[in-house]
Amino acid sequence: MIPLKEKQLEFESVYVDLHKFEQHSEWFIKVNPEGQVPVLDHNGTIITHTTVINEYLEDVFPEIPLRPYDPVGKARMRYWNKFVDEHVMNHVSMHGWHRMIGVIARNIESGDFEKLVEKIPLPDQRKKWKTARSGFSEADLQNATDKITYACQKVEDQLGKSKWLAGEMYTTADINFFCHCGMMVERMFPELEVAKNYPRLVDWRDRMNAREGVKQALAMPDHTNPALRTWTGEAR
């Protein structure tokens, strides 16, 4: 949503209710056989996965750039996107699944739960739903927290060298880290004492929140089940 708003593009948002497993329904599987959101439908062309969608938008709508023009800048942006995708997202996601999806999974009757899991196309997602139902181990959760701590320090160090993650230009790397970790790290992990230990990250987050495109994206309708909002203290 942030790149779309930053680029001032008109679009139609179609909500897929993950709480009701619509992402695994027949109509949605026809759109994305992996049964995952987000999905971009651009004139009938289907693009999936957040980072790929953001790169696609950059290729098709370059007028308001979110990617450096020079090869070095592009490489740095892609490095940070790769780091977020591979070393941040899954570890933040584990805590989210443990606290939030676990509530959903445990409230489904056993027989119904098995039937829903059978419809999930990706084997790893089936495993995650089952694990969320039983609960992630303390060792796995601690390892995930350690990875997030490392990521926060890495970002803190980088922001001592440049204004934004990939350099002096605001890019999709900033958007990627903000959405997967930066915007909620204090609420999810108060034990990290972010304000005390990562002041540059806090300043960067405030600059992100001040951007008009970010404000508009966060103002989009919030469909979060109210019963699940307390895990972070607020909806997002």
Please spell the DSSP secondary structure of the chain, one letter per residue.
Answer: -HHHHHTT---------GGGTGGGSHHHHHH-TT--S-EEEETTEEEESHHHHHHHHHHH-TTS-SS-SSHHHHHHHHHHHHHHHHHTHHHHHHHHIIIIIHHHHHTS-HHHHHHHHHT-SSHHHHHHHHHHHH---HHHHHHHHHHHHHHHHHHHHHTTT-SBTTBSS--HHHHHHIIIIITTHHHH-GGG-HHHH-HHHHHHHHHHHHSHHHHHHHTS-----GGGGGGTTS--
pLDDT of amino acid 233: 35
Domains and CATH numbers, the chain: 2-224 (1.20.1050.10)
Burial of 141 (0-12, 13-18, 19+ CB in 10 A): middle
Cα-trace Rg, the chain: 18
Check residue 224 and give its pLDDT: 65
pLDDT (0 to 100) of residue 225: 58
What is the pLDDT at residue 227?
53
- To the question of pTM greater than 0.85 for the whole model, the response is yes
Tens of pLDDT, residue by residue over 125-139, are 888 888 888 888 999
pLDDT digits (tens, 9 = 90+) for 160-182: 999 999 999 999 999 999 999 98
Burial of 129 (0-12, 13-18, 19+ CB in 10 A): buried
Q: What is the pLDDT of residue 230?
A: 43
Q: Provide the pLDDT for residue 217.
A: 95
pLDDT of residue 149: 96
In the predicted model, residues of the chain with pLDDT beneath 70 are 224-236
* Residue 164 main-chain phi, psi, to 5 deg: -125, 170
The pLDDT of residue 235? 31
Q: What pLDDT is attached to residue 10?
A: 96
**For residue 109, how many C-alpha atoms fall within 13 Å in the half-sphere facing its CB?**
2
